[in-house]
Chains A and B, each alone.
Chain A
Amino acid sequence: MNILPSHWYNIVPDLPKPLPPPRDPEDDYIFSRIELLPKLFPSELLDQEFTAERYIQIPGEVLDAYRRIGRPTPLVRAVNLERLLNTPARIYFKREDLSPTGSHKINTALAQAYYAKKEGVQMLTTETSAGQWGSALACACAMFDIRCLVFMTRSSYIRKPYRRILMKLYGADVVPSPSDRTEIGRRLLMENQEHPGSLGIAISEAVETCMKDGSAKYAVGSVMNFVLLHQTVIGLETMRQLEEIGEIPDVMIGCVGGGSNFSGFIFPFIGNRLKDGDFKNTEFIAVESKASPKMTEGSYIYEHGDTAGYLPMLKMYTVGRSYVPPPIHAAGLRYHAAAPILSLLIKEGLVKAVAYTQEEVLEAARVFARVEGIVPAPETAHAVKQAIVEAEHCRRRNLKKTIILCFSGHGLLDLSVFEEYGTY
């Protein structure tokens, strides 16, 4: 069987309710964020954002790039973890850590760099915190020969030298955010020279750069429909791999920053349930950090994706764009909101959300590394924690459930975290 799919899957036509459109603030009569979108994104990506089509062909060049970076990725059974937990459950994990930059982010980075290149864009700008997204985009830009400018939150810029170096190695221009290159950056630096930055601020800086430079466009690591669309390659592969081994998932788990790896992982399954009634008994569990508890404690409202409010408002679960989460090592989960499509599925009760603290998940990561030999990224550790919770529940109730988790990335460039916490 051909595991790598030929099309991405767009879940929007199969949702239980209409997806609320992006909106401009009602009281702004001068500046339309929606009008700004074509300046920020390549046309084909905006077209994907609003398409009514269910299956979207993956361009040949992107498929080829997917193969070269190691797709399809394996689905592996965590036999040692099962044995350690003494659980009758079967645990599988989808290895998105096996990409050149160590996470799932490359799945959309390659697509975005491809469409940008095709439209003659000279440079892509973006934000990053721990650097997973920034390094994936830098890698994709290198592969498609296009310039890359990354605004990296200052705290990570200082504390995470290796991904910063990796991005530079790929030829990207990396600046600590807030920076003096943008208005919002300069304003914040005036307030505090040592401003630690946040994803929301870094997004605003990347967007502002494109507003001023017509040859640059903005690449986005999560949240937007088209990003989730590209990530469905994860779930589509997983579905075929499960078919091959004759497994039907009882529980599917993923961590949520903006929601892209988890959404890409589960949408093909939820879509089949909504369309054809398959996977009726599968539980879908989104795991977030207690440091940014948008899904478990936030509100389902219209909010901007960035701190400055340069981007349109989207209807999503959020703790508010000016919320500054405590600094945690799973920097990719510090984002203030969950993608609109994922938020709608949570609202409709199709996805359950849970939250954990940093200590809990790092301990789970240690356990996993000890038995399976793979170090989860601090973000991924949230999903691992929930998988362990489920497997232990199965042990107590003697349930032979099939648990699948999206192993979004490895933590080899986050090792200092474990030292800091003494989690060896």
Chain B
Amino acid sequence: MAMVSLSGAFRKRVLMVYLTAGDPYVDSWVIETLSEHGVDIFEFGIPTARPKYDGLTIKASYRRAIESGVTLEKSFQFIEGFRLRHKVVLTYFEYARSIGLERLMSYALNAGAEGVLLPDLLIDYSEDADVYVRLCKQYGFEPIFFITSSFPYKLISEVARLNPAFIYMGLMASTGTLLPITISRNISIIKSLINNTPLLTGFAISEPKQVLECIRAGADGVVIGSAIIRLISGGGEKQHIKEELRNYISSIKEALEAPV
């Protein structure tokens, strides 16, 4: 179990890493290496055949997991298998609803996760946001909300008042897909609407200079997914990949902790 609450992780800047639960490339040594070198929160995706907001890298990762026979239960067993500082579960609400949100929450709790992130909740199912918040309370989770730069100001301020562990801002239209968007402007606008609510920013972040840009604009941390999946699925010796992961994470951490 975690020693501090999820929101407590934000006493310093946070690095969250996305991995698909059950992707054959996500070996235990991968997770251990990432954890040892300072990844603060692990975000585990439950494989789905309908990855709405994912780019090619994460879609491929989902597909590998499904093709290797990972089911809902197995993906939670996978998540349960790791003792980490913080774990959260990511799945689309569309899927959560089909299996039952409450069932998903109880699986998440049993697997030692501290929260459930549903990226399409406020976009396609805003009328179900209340149910989500109530179930979070019931299961002892702090809520987490996913937003984008195309969210109404009012809604952003409203969800900030629900005391989420953090708000996750998707910077691009889909994961891992870089578009020429001025992220610093969008982040600082969003940050001005949410007071002190921790803000994590992600989608297509791969380089330290992007991390700096996010932090300088007011983000409290970053999320990296596709870049790490590319690194572990690109082939090569385990020892070599380990080394690469270590170097990569330290370069990101260095940018993250730079004074602004």
A residues lining the B interface (CB < 8 Å): 12-24, 26, 29-30, 32, 34-35, 37-38, 43-44, 46-47, 50-53, 312
B179 touches A23 (CB 8 A): no
Q: How far is the CA of A23 from the CA of B53 in the complex (A)?
A: 7
Q: Are A21 and B174 in contact (CB under 8 A)?
A: yes
A17:B190 contact, CB within 8 angstroms: no
User: When the two chains form their complex, are residues B52 and A18 in contact, meaning their CB atoms are under 8 A apart?
Assistant: no
Interchain Cβ contacts under 8 Å between A and B, 27 examples: A12-B152, A14-B152, A17-B126, A18-B123, A18-B151, A18-B155, A19-B151, A20-B123, A20-B124, A21-B53, A21-B123, A21-B170, A21-B173, A29-B63, A30-B56, A32-B55, A32-B177, A35-B177, A37-B173, A38-B178, A38-B179, A43-B180, A50-B172, A50-B181, A51-B182, A51-B186, A312-B173
Tell me the bound Cα distance from A26 to B150 in angstroms: 21
Does B131 touch A at the CB level, under 8 Å?
no
| Contact call A26/B149, Cβ cutoff below 8 A | no
**Are the C-beta atoms of A52 and B123 separated by less than 8 Å?**
no
B170 neighbours in A (Cβ, 8 Å): 21
B209 at the interface (CB under 8 A from A): no
Which chain A residues border B155 with CB–CB below 8 Å?
17-18
Chain B residues within an 8 Å CB radius of A12: 150, 152
B52 in contact with A26 (CB, 8 Å) = yes
Closest A residue by C-beta to B185: A53
Residue of B nearest to A21 (CB): B173
Are B179 and A37 touching (Cβ within 8 A)? yes
CA distance in complex: A18, B156 (Å): 10
Residue from B63, B150, B152, B181 in contact with A47 in the complex, judged by beta carbons closer than 8 Å: B181
A283–B136 Cα distance when bound, in Å, is 40
Q: Are A34 and B152 in contact (CB under 8 A)?
A: no
Q: Are A32 and B185 in contact (CB under 8 A)?
A: no
Q: How far is the CA of A52 from the CA of B148 in the complex (A)?
A: 9
Contact residues in A for B152 (Cβ distance below 8 Å): 12-18
* A13 partner residues in chain B, CB cutoff 8 A: 151-153
Complexed CA–CA distance, A166 and B60 (Å):
49
**Residue in B closest to A43 when the chains form the complex, CB atoms:** B180
Q: Are A21 and B148 in contact (CB under 8 A)?
A: yes
- CB closest chain-B residue, reference A17: B126
User: Does chain A have a CB within 8 A of B147?
Assistant: yes
**Cα distance A127–B249 when bound, in Å?**
47
Distance to closest chain B CB from A305 (angstroms): 14
Known: A29-B60, A34-B179, A50-B186. A24 touches B149 (CB 8 A): no
| Contact residues in B for A43 (Cβ distance below 8 Å) | 180
A20-B173 Cα distance, complex, nearest whole Å? 10
Nearest chain A CB to B61's CB is how many angstroms away? 11
Query: For B126, what are the chain A residues with a Cβ–Cβ distance below 8 Å?
Result: 17-18
0/1 interface trace, chain B 49-80, chain A, CB 8 Å (1 if under): 11111011001100100000000000000000
A50 partner, pick from B49, B56, B60, B179, beta carbons under 8 A: B179
* 14 further A-B pairs in the complex, CB-CB below 8 A; given A29-B56, A34-B179: A13-B152, A16-B152, A17-B155, A21-B170, A21-B173, A23-B53, A32-B174, A46-B179, A47-B181, A51-B181, A52-B149, A52-B151, A52-B185, A312-B173
- Which residues of A sit under 8 angstroms from B149, Cβ to Cβ? 50-52
Give bound CA distance, A17 to B19, whole Å: 30
Question: Which single residue of chain B is at the shortest CB-CB distance from A35?
Answer: B177
Please report the C-alpha to C-alpha distance between residue A23 and residue B172 in the assembled complex, in whole angstroms.
Answer: 11
Rounded to whole angstroms, the CA-CA distance of A13 and B151 in the bound complex is 6
**Which residues from B are CB-within-8-Å of A19?**
150-151
- Whole-angstrom distance between the alpha carbons of A46 and B182 in the complex? 10
CA distance A319 to B179 in the complex (A): 29
By a CB distance below 8 angstroms, the chain B residues around A29 are 56, 59-60, 63
Distance in angstroms from A367 CB to nearest chain B CB is 41
Does B189 reach chain A (CB closer than 8 Å)? yes
CA distance A26 to B47 in the complex (A): 13
For the complex formed, measure the closest distance between the CB of A79 and the CB atoms of chain B, giving whole angstroms. Answer: 40
* Complex CA–CA separation, A170 to B87 (angstroms): 61
Cα–Cα distance between A418 and B12 once the two chains are bound (Å): 71
Nearest CB of A to B184, in Å: 11
Residues of B within 8 A of A15 (CB): 152
Q: Which residue of B lies closest to A12 (CB)?
A: B150
Contact A18–B186 (Cβ < 8 Å): no
CA distance A15 to B156 in the complex (A): 12
Complex Cα distance, B170 from A14, in Å, reads 19
**Complexed CA–CA distance, A43 and B179 (Å):** 8
Q: Of B50, B147, B173, which one neighbours A18 at CB under 8 angstroms?
A: B147
Query: Does residue B122 face the partner (Cβ distance < 8 Å to A)?
Result: yes
Task: Note all chain A residues with C-beta closer than 8 A to B52.
Answer: 23, 26
> Across the interface, which residues of B come within 8 angstroms of A30, CB to CB?
56
How many whole Å from A22's CB to the nearest CB in chain B?
5
A53-B182 Cα distance, complex, nearest whole Å: 11
Query: Whole-angstrom distance from the CB of B188 to the nearest CB of chain A?
Result: 9
When A18-B147, A32-B56, A35-B55 are in contact, do A51 and B180 touch as well, CB less than 8 Å?
Answer: no
B54 nearest CB across to chain A (Å): 8
| Residues of A contacting B181 in the complex (Cβ-Cβ under 8 angstroms) | 46-47, 50-51
Specify the chain B residue showing the minimal Cβ separation from A11.
B152
Nearest Cβ on chain A to B100's Cβ, whole angstroms: 22
Q: Which residues of B contact A18 (CB under 8 A)?
A: 122-123, 126, 147-148, 150-152, 155
User: Which of the residues A21, A34, A50 comes within 8 Å of B55, measured between beta carbons?
Assistant: A34
Q: Are B150 and A21 in contact, CB atoms less than 8 angstroms apart?
A: yes
Considering the chains assembled together, what is the distance between the CA atoms of A26 and B60 in angstroms?
11
Bound CA span A206–B174, Å: 24
Partner of A35, one of B50, B56, B123, B147: B56
A18 to B122, alpha carbons, bound, how many Å? 7
Residues of A near B179 (CB, < 8 A) are 34, 37-38, 46, 50
* A199 CA to B50 CA, complexed, in Å: 30
CB distance from A42 to the nearest CB of B (A): 9
Minimum C-beta distance from B125 to chain A (A): 11
Q: Interface centre among A17, A21, A30, by most B CB within 10 Å?
A: A21
B177 engages A34 (CB within 8 Å): yes
* Partner among B49, B124, B174, B189 whose Cβ is within 8 Å of the Cβ of A52: B189
Q: Residue of A at shortest CB range from B149? A: A52
In the assembled complex, the Cα of A37 lies from the Cα of B149 at a distance in Å of 17
